Amino acid sequence: MKPAKEAKKYAKMFVNSTGLDQVPQALAELGAVEQLMAKSADFNGLLMNPAFSDEERAKALKAVADTAKMSDRVMQFVLLLTGTGVIAALSEVIRNATQIYLEKKKRARATVMTPVELSKEHLDRLKVSLKKLIDRDVDLDYVLDPSLLGGVMVKVGSTMYDSSIKGQLRLLKEELIKG
């Protein structure tokens, strides 16, 4: 099976074995490993290259874990991913684990895009409205997008709510083309 396909299985295993209260910290540690892999070709090669033995990986990862204050649980999980070849899909594992965690906590993550900065009051009102709409607490990721002419776009999971002028113009164009 391909690493990307196995990512969900390993993400589920990670969340279940970590414990719900420790998941945010553990995900942050996995994110740090992912960033280090992106920045350091040597570290990336150590984890990805099958020529290195499990002992060599464990020794090097232990040194990195001590410096980065990584928990033993996360270090063991990274070693498991390297041993099974799923380390190549670490970003997918993190994404899936985050999604599983949010599901278990009855939370959702929404990305809000606007052309101008919104005040805290507006963001709070948006949070309340989204909570009513999707029946979950919502964590907002805020993105400024000057290409929007006005309004707001909100993405929750795979659902997009588009009340931007750009989106409305696109819908109008599609209607005009249909006749």
Pick the last residue of a domain from 102, 134, 167.
102
The answer on 45 and 7 residing in a single domain is: yes
pTM of the predicted model, to two decimals? 0.68
Domain carrying residue 130? 107-178
User: Crossing angle for the helix pair 23-39 and 41-48, nearest 10 degrees?
Assistant: 110
Q: What is the pLDDT of residues 63-95, one digit of tens each?
A: 888 887 888 888 889 888 888 888 888 899 998
The answer on 64 and 114 residing in a single domain is: no
Q: What is the pLDDT of residues 113-128, one digit of tens each?
A: 988 888 889 989 988 9
The answer on 142 and 75 residing in a single domain is: no
Pick the last residue of a domain from 102, 130, 152.
102
The answer on 21 and 94 residing in a single domain is: yes
The answer on 134 and 71 residing in a single domain is: no
Buried/exposed 102-121: b ≥16 CB within 10 Å, e otherwise: beeeeebebebbbbeebeee
